[in-house]
């Protein structure tokens, strides 16, 4: 498949997964065997790359605790299967952690440290600068490509979200580390959406986004450096580029009334 060939030209592949819409695998009554088949597809078709997969868990925003080794992954059955195999390393970042078959980690856990999941210490920054490929293996591009938040952060054009700070206790290697998570959130009460059909169409036209569709299978792939640079250009021209048209006037009018980007006190 061309997408796997393109991915294999890169050092790293960042994979969002939904095996329900991945490639067809032999039937098995055992869920673990089905998941292993999907992993072998990825490994066999991309044998020499470093894998990175989301290991997101949002519960620590309520509990105030992130257990690196034991918190389940809430996005992707395959991702959680690989975590339980203990063959992948998990990163330190609360909420937006990742698992990888490399020794890469994102943040040290100095006492009182503020961690921004989308800054220049993040996995996204590493991927942007290190010959990497984004793949959606069965997963929907809509609402799943979290790299969009990295681009928003580094663009210096992020007007329509604001930062909230969450004290989190990170548990790792039988030690507790108290950090602060800096998380840019949608404004409370303003449930805008991103215009993913437009975003995807633009990536097909201008950034060589590859799409494989066959029956229920859907796989997408794109070079991350190209993706990030394209989105930065778009945001430079229009800071509201990502936003659905029906929300643009509402957001633009509110920004004009306030005279600056959104801050937490404007909504909470």
Q: How many CA atoms lie within 13 A of 43 on its CB side?
A: 10
Average pLDDT of the segment spanning 199-214: 95
Q: What is the pLDDT of residues 73-93, one digit of tens each?
A: 999 999 999 999 888 999 999
Identify the pLDDT of residue 143: 65
Average pLDDT of the segment spanning 178-182: 97
Q: What is the pLDDT of residues 120-152, one digit of tens each?
A: 999 999 999 999 999 999 998 876 789 999 999
Q: What is the pLDDT of residues 12-52, one digit of tens each?
A: 999 999 999 999 998 888 999 999 999 999 999 999 999 99
Residue 161 has pLDDT above 80, yes or no: yes
Helices 31-45 and 77-85: crossing angle in degrees, nearest 10, is: 90
Confidence of residue 191 (pLDDT cuts 50, 70, 90): confident
Contact assessment for residue 124 and residue 232, using Cβ atoms and an 8 Å cutoff: no
Identify the pLDDT of residue 27: 85
Handedness of CA 129, 119, 234, 139 (dihedral sign): positive
Q: What percent of the chain is modeled with pLDDT above 90?
A: 91
Q: Which tokens belong to 140?
A: 């929907």
Contact assessment for residue 147 and residue 220, using Cβ atoms and an 8 Å cutoff: no
Confidence of residue 154 (pLDDT cuts 50, 70, 90): very high
Neighbours of 265 (CB within 10 A): 7
Strand partners, 135: 15, 221
Query: Residue ranges of the domains in the chain?
Result: 2-266
Contact assessment for residue 6 and residue 133, using Cβ atoms and an 8 Å cutoff: yes
Question: What is the helix (H) or strand (E) element at residue 100, kind and residue range?
Answer: strand 98-100
Contact assessment for residue 115 and residue 105, using Cβ atoms and an 8 Å cutoff: no
Residue 103 has pLDDT above 90, yes or no: no
């Amino acid at each position: 498949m061309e997408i796997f060939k393109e991915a294999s030209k890169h050092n790293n592949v960042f994979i969002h997964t939904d095996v329900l819409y991945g490639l067809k695998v032999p039937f098995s009554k055992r869920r673990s065997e089905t998941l292993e088949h999907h992993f072998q597809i990825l490994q066999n078709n991309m044998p020499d790359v470093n894998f990175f997969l989301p290991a997101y868990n949002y519960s620590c925003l309520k509990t105030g605790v992130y257990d690196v080794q034991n918190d389940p992954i809430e996005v992707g059955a395959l991702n959680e299967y690989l975590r339980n195999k203990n063959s992948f390393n998990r990163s330190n970042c609360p909420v937006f952690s990742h698992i990888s078959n490399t020794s890469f980690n994102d943040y040290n856990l100095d006492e009182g440290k503020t961690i921004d999941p989308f800054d220049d210490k993040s996995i996204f920054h590493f991927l942007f600068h290190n010959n990497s490929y984004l793949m959606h293996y069965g997963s929907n591009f809509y609402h799943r490509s979290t790299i969009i938040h990295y681009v928003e952060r580094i663009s210096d054009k992020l007007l329509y979200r604001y930062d909230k700070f969450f004290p989190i206790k990170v548990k790792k290697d039988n030690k507790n580390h108290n950090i602060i998570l800096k998380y840019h959130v949608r404004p409370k009460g303003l449930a805008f959406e991103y215009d993913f059909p437009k975003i995807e169409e633009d990536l097909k036209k201008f950034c060589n986004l590859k799409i494989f569709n066959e029956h229920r299978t859907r796989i997408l792939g794109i070079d991350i450096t190209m993706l990030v640079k394209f989105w930065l250009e778009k945001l430079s021209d229009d800071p509201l580029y990502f936003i659905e048209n029906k929300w643009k006037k509402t957001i633009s009018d509110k920004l004009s009334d306030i005279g600056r980007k959104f801050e937490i006190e404007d909504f909470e």
